[in-house]
Amino acid sequence: MIHCSNPHAQYLSLREKIDAAIRRLLDSGWYILGDEVAAFESEFAEYIGTEYAVGVGSGTEAIHIALVACGVGEGDEVITVSHTAVATVAAIELAGATPVMVDVDPVTMTMNPAKLQSAIASRTKAVLPVHLYGQSADMDGICEVASRHGLRVIEDASQAHGATWKGRRVGSIGDIGCFSLYPTKNLGGLGDGGIVTTNDASLAQRMRSLREYGWERRFVSERPGWNTRLDEIQAAVLRVKLPLLNCFNISRRDIAARYDAGLRGVHLPARTDGHVFHQYAIRTNRRDGILKFLRSRGVGASVHYPVPVHRQPAYAGRLRGSDELPETERIAGEILSLPIYPELNIDDQQRVIDAVLAFRE
């Protein structure tokens, strides 16, 4: 089987360095919020181009803590998209706020800035664009609308480590950037993890406090908080991978270019110059048929995402804006992610291309 993503292949390619980093951590005797997390936070902030980074327990918690740090809570509304992982919307509700859905651009499949204005109401507190599949949302358009209305912009960059918008890395453009460090991400650990980035010192300090019970000093909670710390062991692994992230993303772009050349007549992904191809997502009105066919040929294609958040059983009928999402609805029935990860070899990629073309003939 050719997997859609394959974090084990990356571990095997880096086994000696990763094992050494884990041994170093185990030998240190310090396993929670120690030198590894502090170093990774500093290195990641430098990479993204922000002053601060704060490690947390997951990408969902990254968004949750970012929202709370920005003062978002009960009675507030946060505008986002439904064509995303459920985690985006779940985090808004964890903060006590109400998610409001807007439609996506039909080409990029990211938040459509033209839809923002009509979604803004008196209770709107923040905008949460999602950089999807490795491609940035239109941050110029989104930030312009948000600035006009005094709204916070919190970037969900969980699928876009290293992606850029007009030369700036995502996660450095809004008030806060939120990243998942799940194993399949462009930069992934060996378990759950997340990190937030910002240039605002007060927001950074608030998020550091929130991730550990609201402490400003040990055992004294200045505000309600949580236990959502990035593990030292994950930070040690991520420090091995971070210097290689640009190389990983170059490999992903090379794979995408080979797909572009080989998939004749297929609706290929749109892309900006800063795309880092977390997924290679084609579109087809025969999606379910081709998915079944590919899997029968040993190709582990997948769908990101087959059911928009507003149609999930947990959210159906209760998210404002859900009846105004025609592009989201259309995409959900057409999208198909082909295998892509830095270690995918040319022969296996050719098998994927041949299988897609065989279905079309």
Same domain, 219 and 257: no
Residue 245's alpha-carbon distances to 161, 188, 248, 341, 347, in angstroms, are 8, 10, 5, 12, 23
Same domain, 239 and 249: no
CATH number of the domain encompassing residue 342: 3.90.1150.10
**Domain annotation covers residue 183:** yes
Same domain, 270 and 352: yes
CATH number of the domain encompassing residue 155: 3.40.640.10
| CA gap 311, 255 in Å, rounded | 33
Same domain, 160 and 33: yes
Q: Tens digits of per-residue pLDDT, 30-77?
A: 999 999 999 999 999 999 999 999 999 999 999 999 999 999 999 999
| CA gap 16, 29 in Å, rounded | 21
Same domain, 184 and 40: yes
With beta carbons less than 8 A apart as the criterion, state whether 291 and 336 touch: yes
Same domain, 51 and 182: yes
Domain final residue pick, 243, 272, 293: 243
Domain final residue pick, 199, 219, 243: 243
pLDDT of residue 272: 87
Same domain, 74 and 152: yes
**Domain annotation covers residue 58:** yes
pLDDT of residue 360: 82
**Domain annotation covers residue 2:** no
pLDDT of residue 99: 98
- Which range marks the domain in which residue 346 is found? 245-360
**Domain annotation covers residue 297:** yes
Same domain, 249 and 238: no
Query: Which residues does the chain have with pLDDT short of 70?
Result: 361
**Domain annotation covers residue 238:** yes
Same domain, 36 and 48: yes
Query: Looking at beta carbons, which pairs linking 243-250 to residues 24 or more positions away fall under 8 Å?
Result: 244/14, 245/47, 245/161, 245/162, 245/186, 245/187, 246/162, 247/342, 248/186, 248/187, 248/342, 249/161, 249/162, 249/186, 249/276, 249/277
Domain final residue pick, 243, 258, 279: 243
**Domain annotation covers residue 196:** yes
| CA gap 287, 164 in Å, rounded | 30
DSSP letter at 349?
Answer: H
The total of structural domains in the chain comes to 2
**Domain annotation covers residue 267:** yes
Same domain, 220 and 330: no
**Domain annotation covers residue 1:** no
Same domain, 93 and 213: yes
Same domain, 11 and 156: yes
pLDDT of residue 361: 62
